């Protein structure tokens, strides 16, 4: 038997600190070599306020010990002020996943003990740093995420409008596919102004909507009252305000994305990705792929790779991908759905997987393929995207694979297939 030597990573950080962060207080534990020269470690624990002046005093205190690495758990948004301040002070700041530092059964739990335990685990190199992008990407991320939230709030407000019309017996959404179009908005404004005549309201239709005048007249026969008019006016005003906010945020995104315009243009070439989606993806993963050694690392971090669930040599069912960055998952999902409608390699990949595994798994698979393409484009800036084409699978598979696929398809339809070579 040949024994394989492995590196011993015990106590790899000589001077380390760990923070247990709350809303009002930060408990800081420092562990450094013993001043007596023995093999034992010296530690000190102090509690600081989360106010900026107190955090600056904590930074000076850590610098006095010569601390090189500061570790903290991702606790809500409370980690951000200490992290940003210590990062600016030159410390090697690590944000770690709380699940990697699980509370051991039977061990007492206090803020002080948690800070000490986190420090002991960190000094032995048993933790992994989470991905925290640089400041320009963080600012861009704030803008793109806020835009997503605004779009979601606008959708919820529009749903309230439709429910209000249903309550009044106005069936506009049955006739019009978009009640917030030019025609629908003019009709709702007229309702607010006091117009109740179904024929007069229907005459406000524009372009293609005028072919549905009879249905529109029927749709406006209801019991729309002054109460509904008041609520509808407030809801439409809210929608207009959100639209204005979205435009303002998009203007700021356009300014913040300037240094990354080349990356946006490269990602825009991928089927299913437009400029808005490309900006959202860059805001979540950045442009420096050195953080992800391979495309597989990026897919695993984004939770677009299947997990491993195996015991005793047997796979235990389908291992789920897990829950990753929901903003990135949203952008990739939208890109995958868009690519599925195209006559490209990604579109054909979606259709092939959807036939066998279902649409949801096909979206995840195509989303992973898009991530791999993104990693390649960002890791090698001079690389350009080239579509393999919808016939890639057939061309790669060769004649025999194509024949087998056709036979299986005919057999699935109930036919018995006999092959005969043509003269």
- Per-residue model confidence (pLDDT) at position 309: 66
CA gap 103, 219 in Å, rounded: 60
Specify the pLDDT at position 308. Answer: 66
Model-level pTM?
0.82
**Tokens 């009640």 belong to residue:** 179
| Separation CA 88–CA 56 (nearest Å) | 11
Query: How much is the pLDDT for 406?
Result: 83
pLDDT tens-digit series, residues 54-89: 999 999 999 998 898 999 988 788 899 999 999 999
The percent helix, strand, coil of the chain (3-state, each to 5) is 55, 10, 35
Q: Give the Cα separation of 213 and 218 in Å (integer).
A: 9
Beta strand residue intervals within 227-335, DSSP E? 310-311, 314-315
First-to-last C-alpha distance (Å) of the chain: 61
| pLDDT-flagged residues of the chain (< 70) | 1-11, 102-107, 307-322, 397-398, 423
Q: What local confidence, expressed as pLDDT, does residue 397 receive?
A: 63
Q: What pLDDT score was predicted for residue 9?
A: 47
Beta strand residue intervals within 250-398, DSSP E = 310-311, 314-315
Write down the CATH number for the domain with range 16-123.
3.30.420.10
DSSP 314: E
Per-residue pLDDT at 412: 87
Per-residue model confidence (pLDDT) at position 76: 82
Q: Supply the mean pLDDT for the chain.
A: 87
Q: What are phi and psi of 116, to 5 degrees?
A: -65, -45
pLDDT (tens digit per residue) in 217-253: 999 998 999 999 999 999 999 999 999 999 999 999 9
Q: Is 293 exposed, middle or buried (0-12, 13-18, 19+ CB in 10 A)?
A: exposed
């Amino acid at each position: 038997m040949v024994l394989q030597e492995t590196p011993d990573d015990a106590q790899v950080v000589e001077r380390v600190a760990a923070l247990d962060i709350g809303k009002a207080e930060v408990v800081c534990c420092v562990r450094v070599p013993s001043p007596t020269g023995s093999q034992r470690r010296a530690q000190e624990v102090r509690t600081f306020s989360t106010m900026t002046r107190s955090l600056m005093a904590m930074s000076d205190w850590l610098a006095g010990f010569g601390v090189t690495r500061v570790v903290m758990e991702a606790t809500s948004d409370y980690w951000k002020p200490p992290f940003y301040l210590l990062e600016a002070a030159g410390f090697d700041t690590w944000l770690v996943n709380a699940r990697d530092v699980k509370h051991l059964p039977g061990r007492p739990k206090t803020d002080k003990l948690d800070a000490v335990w986190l420090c002991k685990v960190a000094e032995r190199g048993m933790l992994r740093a989470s991905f925290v992008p640089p400041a320009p990407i963080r600012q861009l991320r704030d803008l793109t995420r806020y835009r997503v939230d605004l779009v979601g709030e606008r959708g919820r407000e529009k749903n309230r409008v439709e429910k209000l019309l249903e309550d009044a017996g106005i069936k506009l959404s049955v006739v019009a596919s978009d009640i917030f179009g030019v025609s629908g908005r003019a009709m709702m404004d007229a309702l607010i102004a006091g117009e109740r005549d179904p024929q007069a309201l229907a005459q406000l239709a524009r372009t293609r909507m005028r072919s549905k005048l009879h249905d529109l007249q029927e749709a406006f026969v209801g019991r729309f009252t002054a109460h509904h008019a008041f609520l509808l006016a407030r809801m439409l005003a809210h929608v207009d305000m959100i639209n204005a906010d979205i435009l303002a945020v998009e203007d700021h995104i356009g300014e913040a994305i300037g240094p990354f315009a080349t990356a946006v243009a490269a990602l825009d070439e991928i089927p299913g990705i437009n400029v808005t989606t490309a900006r959202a993806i860059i805001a979540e993963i950045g442009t420096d792929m050195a953080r992800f050694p391979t495309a597989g690392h990026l897919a695993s971090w984004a939770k677009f790779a299947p997990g491993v669930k195996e015991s005793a040599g047997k796979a235990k069912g389908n291992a789920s991908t897990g829950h990753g960055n929901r903003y990135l998952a949203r952008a990739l999902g939208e890109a995958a759905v868009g690519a599925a409608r195209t006559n490209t390699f990604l579109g054909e990949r979606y259709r092939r997987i959807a036939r066998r595994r279902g649409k949801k798994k096909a979206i995840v698979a195509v989303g992973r393929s898009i991530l791999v393409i993104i990693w390649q484009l960002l890791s090698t800036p001079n690389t350009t995207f080239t579509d393999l084409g919808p016939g890639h699978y057939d061309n790669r598979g060769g004649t025999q694979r194509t024949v087998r696929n056709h036979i299986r398809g005919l057999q699935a339809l109930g036919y018995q297939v006999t092959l005969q070579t043509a003269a």
